[in-house]
């Protein structure tokens, strides 16, 4: 029998993020974000690269929509630049040029039959909020983020149905507030930071991220009336304003989750891998689906972890997200190591039978396609929620230095996609996972955070001098799939 899940539409697309592609950092009334500040500090990014110009998507989006169309792309994930809309972060001072930019973009995407999937926050916090109260470590961020989210729903909710609240807090909290390798570069106690998770800042960041997400979901559910401009339930809207209310939509947080495979089949290794998986993979999903941090994190951090009050817990659980938005790139093998606290395990990228996982260009990324299938099964069993893969992709070795024509023959990436996609479809087809979509990261080579332009994840090559775009072979391969799977089930 065909499982019911496979009858749901399956969305295929590709993804980007504002600071990584837009450029035009000082144009159109945009205010500075923490990534503008951070990337301009000496020594923080590869060769001092910044997102000042990036892919110049701000000026070239019409061209890029044409590019998407010729690839047959039907779903495009992008993020809003908070400071293009609200240069100082708070919602009082709306920047009309920023609104006009996204209005034009969303109208053109709609006209091109491309569904926009919009991330509210992909790491570019308004610098003003960082300066005022330290950004994610302060509780004021919850209200400011929710107000910004509400404003975005009001502005674009008539054309955007699919939303993401925060992109990967499990990345921006520790890297931004613990190791200091990402904006805002906080590392209050460097020695302790280098030793491990000892400072409180990353935990405060994570706590506020969960609360901010729930507040944004709550705002989303309340809806608003286009005719009277009031926030209200959709039902109340039609009664009280006789209004056109915003059509429904879906919303979720994106989470970066790798896979910890047991090194051997021994009970110890299996348990060690499960500890590691829950520690990292359940960090945010447990609060969202169960109302509390996973036991493994509580065991390790104890009092450093802010606890949710009963009211907060209720609020989080009363505002459930619509799907798990999974961002998956890599995995490794984990074995018990009783002398290695706190989780009493170690990891390796070589299997017990001697197979070395191939390394991508990024030092943290090892190609482990079967991990995706295992991970999807784990998420399905633990949360039973629909899943959309909102990022999956790879930096192919040597792309930053090879001649263009060689880069365009990106066999490494093409084979990565083939293998990962076949594992994703197997999970959906054979394991009963309610997988609803897949987005390749990324549509364009772009500003890869601290790695600047030295790592290329695009399915499209961008010449960072001329800014010309050229399809890589992986884009050509994906394009047959994009067109095919956009509206019906891929399984
Ligand atoms: C993410 C990052 C992307 C990165 C990609 C490759 O959401 O993980 O947002 O912006 O470019 O993951 O490292």
Domain boundaries defined on the chain: 4-485
Q: Is the pLDDT of residue 485 over 60?
A: no
Residue 4 has pLDDT above 60, yes or no: no
pLDDT category at 236 given cuts 50, 70, 90 is: low
Ligand 1 pocket residue status of 164, Cβ below 6 Å: no
Residue 230 — very low, low, confident or very high, per pLDDT cuts 50/70/90? low
Percent of the chain's residues with pLDDT above 90: 85
486 has a pLDDT exceeding 50: no
| pLDDT, the chain, mean | 92
Residues 396-400 have a mean pLDDT of: 95
**CB neighbour class for 128 (10 Å; exposed up to 12, middle 13-18, buried from 19):** buried
Q: Assess whether the C-beta atom of 119 lies below 6 angstroms from ligand 1.
A: no
Whole-number CA gyration radius for the chain = 22
Ligand 1, atom 4: closest residue by C-alpha: 448
Q: What SS3 state is found at 359?
A: strand
The reported pLDDT for the residue numbered 228 is 54
Q: Which of 115, 201, 391, 399 is catalytic?
A: 391
Any idea which residue has 């010729």 for tokens?
70
- Contact 455/448 with Cβ under 8 angstroms? yes
Average pLDDT of the segment spanning 60-84: 97
d(CA 134, CA 130): 4
Indicate the fold that domain 4-485 takes in CATH: TIM Barrel (3.20.20)
Q: Calculate how far, in angstroms, residue 227's C-alpha sits from the geometric centre of ligand 1.
A: 38
Atom number in ligand 1 closest to CA 168: 7
- Do residues 400 and 463 lie in contact, with contact meaning Cβ atoms separated by under 8 Å? no
CA 266 to ligand 1 centroid distance, Å: 34
Q: How confident is the model at residue 232, as a pLDDT?
A: 55
For residue range 352-377, what is the model confidence (pLDDT) as tens digits? 999 999 999 999 999 999 999 999 99
For 321-344, what is each residue's pLDDT tens digit? Answer: 999 999 999 999 999 999 999 999
Q: What is the mean pLDDT of residues 1-21?
A: 78
Q: Residue 491 has what pLDDT?
A: 31
Instruction: Give tens-digit pLDDT for 88-129.
Output: 999 999 999 999 999 999 999 999 999 999 999 999 999 999
Ligand 1 centroid distance, CA of 228 (Å)? 38
pTM for this one? Answer: 0.93
Contact 167 CB / ligand 1 (< 6 Å): yes
> Residue 28's closest CA among 106, 89, 100?
100
pLDDT at 266 over 50: yes
Ligand 1 near 327 CB (within 6 A): yes
pLDDT, position 179:
87
443: Cβ below 6 Å to ligand 1? no
For 343, list phi and psi in degrees, rounded to 5.
-90, 0
The pLDDT confidence band at residue 7, using thresholds 50, 70 and 90, is: low
Q: Six-digit token pair at 313?
A: 């817990």
pLDDT at residue 461 tops 60: yes
For position 10, what pLDDT does the model report?
Answer: 87
195 is catalytic: no
Mutate to test the pocket of ligand 1, among 255, 449, 458 (most ligand atoms within 8 A of CB): 449
Distance 415 CA to ligand 1 centre (A): 20
The percent of residues in the chain predicted with pLDDT above 70, rounded, is 89
CA-closest residue to ligand 1 atom 13: 448
Q: Is 439 in the pocket of ligand 1 (CB under 6 A)?
A: no
């Amino acid at each position: 029998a065909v499982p019911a899940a496979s009858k749901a539409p399956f969305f295929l697309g590709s993804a980007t993020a504002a600071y990584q592609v837009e450029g035009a950092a000082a144009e159109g009334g945009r205010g500075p974000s923490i990534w503008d500040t951070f990337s301009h500090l000496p020594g923080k990014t590869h060769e001092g690269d910044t997102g000042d110009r990036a892919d110049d998507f701000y000026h070239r989006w019409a061209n890029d929509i044409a590019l998407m169309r010729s690839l047959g792309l039907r779903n495009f994930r992008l993020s809003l630049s908070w400071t293009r809309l609200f240069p100082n972060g708070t919602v009082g001072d709306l920047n009309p040029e920023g609104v006009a930019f996204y209005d034009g973009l969303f109208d053109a995407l709609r006209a091109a039959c491309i569904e926009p999937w919009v991330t509210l926050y992909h790491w570019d916090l308004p610098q003003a909020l960082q300066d005022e109260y330290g950004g994610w470590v302060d509780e004021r961020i919850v209200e400011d983020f929710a107000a910004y989210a509400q404003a975005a729903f009001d502005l674009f909710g008539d054309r955007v149905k699919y939303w993401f609240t925060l992109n990967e807090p499990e990345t921006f909290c520790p890297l931004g507030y613990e190791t200091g390798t990402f904006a805002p570069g906080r590392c209050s106690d460097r020695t302790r930071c280098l030793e491990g998770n000892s400072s409180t800042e990353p935990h405060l960041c994570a706590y506020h991220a969960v609360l901010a997400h729930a507040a944004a979901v709550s705002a989303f559910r309340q809806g608003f009336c286009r005719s009277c401009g009031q926030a209200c339930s959709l039902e109340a809207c039609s009664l009280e304003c006789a209004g056109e209310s915003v059509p429904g939509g879906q919303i979720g947080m994106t989470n970066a989750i790798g896979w910890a495979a047991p090194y051997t089949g021994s009970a110890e290794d299996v348990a060690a891998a499960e500890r590691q998986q829950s520690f990292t993979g359940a960090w945010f999903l447990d609060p969202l689906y169960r109302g509390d941090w996973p036991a493994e994190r509580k065991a390790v951090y104890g009092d450093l972890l802010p606890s949710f009050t009963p009211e907060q817990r209720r609020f989080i659980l009363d505002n459930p997200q619509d799907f798990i938005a999974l961002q998956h790139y890599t995995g490794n093998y984990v074995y018990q190591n009783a002398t290695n606290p706190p989780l009493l395990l170690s990891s390796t990228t070589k299997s017990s039978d001697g197979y070395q996982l191939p390394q991508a260009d990024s030092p943290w990324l090892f190609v482990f396609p079967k991990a995706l299938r295992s991970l999807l099964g784990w998420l399905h069993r633990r949360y039973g929620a629909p899943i959309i893969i909102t990022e999956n992709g790879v930096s192919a070795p040597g792309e930053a230095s090879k001649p263009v024509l060689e880069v365009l023959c990106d066999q490494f990436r093409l084979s990565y996609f083939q293998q990962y996609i076949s594992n994703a479809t197997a999970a959906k087809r054979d394991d009963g996972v309610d997988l609803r979509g897949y987005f390749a990261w990324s549509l364009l080579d772009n500003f890869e955070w601290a790695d600047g332009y030295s790592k290329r994840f695009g399915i499209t090559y961008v010449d960072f001098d001329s800014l010309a775009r050229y399809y890589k072979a992986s884009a050509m391969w994906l394009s047959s799939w994009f067109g095919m799977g956009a509206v019906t089930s891929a399984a």
